[in-house]
Amino acid sequence: MIPFRFSTGALDTAALQDEMRDPTCGGYAAFEGWVRDHNEGHAVTRLEYEAFAELAEKEGARIVQAAIEKFGVTRAACVHRIESLALGDVAVWVGSAPRIATRHSAPAASSSMK
């Protein structure tokens, strides 16, 4: 499992969910970031994502690791698409599997990514 990675093509959230499966974990939580139709007062029709991958992959891995330590989850990962996305597309997926179900770690990691 790579803690942070980029992807092109639609995210297979079912496959990502499977990556979180762990026999010691009783559940999992995920955050999906969607492309919305407005930003800072402007209408949005598409979002073009690009990344300085060399830096972002290192920083992303640090953020996921920090979330694992802060929230004590067993598994966590984040995937971000880099391409032209339409409204409603899943741009980012963050998942975590704790021993005890929590709903906090995935959204927190997502906020840090920005």
Partner 1 sequence: MLACDLPFLDERTLDTLISARAPDADATAFRSTHDGLPEPLCAIYEPRAAEKIAAHIAAGKNCPRKFLINAQTRLLEQPNPRALDNVNTLDEYASAMTTLDSPALEIRVQYYALLREQAGRSDETLSTRARTPRELYVELAARYPFTLPADMLRVAVNAEFGEWTQPLKAGDAVVFIPPVAGG
Q: Is 114 in the site for partner 1 (CB under 8 A)?
A: yes
Residue count at the site for partner 1 (CB under 8 A)? 17
Q: Is 52 in the site for partner 1 (CB under 8 A)?
A: yes
d(CA 114, CA 56): 11
Q: Is 44 in the site for partner 1 (CB under 8 A)?
A: yes
Cβ 37 to partner 1 shortest distance, Å: 10
Q: Is 87 in the site for partner 1 (CB under 8 A)?
A: no
103 three-state secondary structure = coil
71: its two tokens = 């929230």
Cβ 56 to partner 1 shortest distance, Å: 9
In angstroms, how far is CA 104 from the centroid of its own chain? 13
Q: Is 33 in the site for partner 1 (CB under 8 A)?
A: yes
Measured from the CB atom, the residue of 23 and 50 that comes closer to partner 1 is: 50
From the number of C-beta atoms within 10 Å of its C-beta (0-12, 13-18, 19+), residue 56 rates as: middle
Q: Backbone phi, then psi, for 44, in 5-degree steps? A: -120, 130
Write out the H or E segment, with its range, that includes residue 14: helix 13-20
Q: Is 39 in the site for partner 1 (CB under 8 A)?
A: yes
Which residues contact partner 1 by CB under 8 A?
A: 33, 35-36, 39-40, 44, 47, 50-52, 54-55, 58-59, 91-92, 114
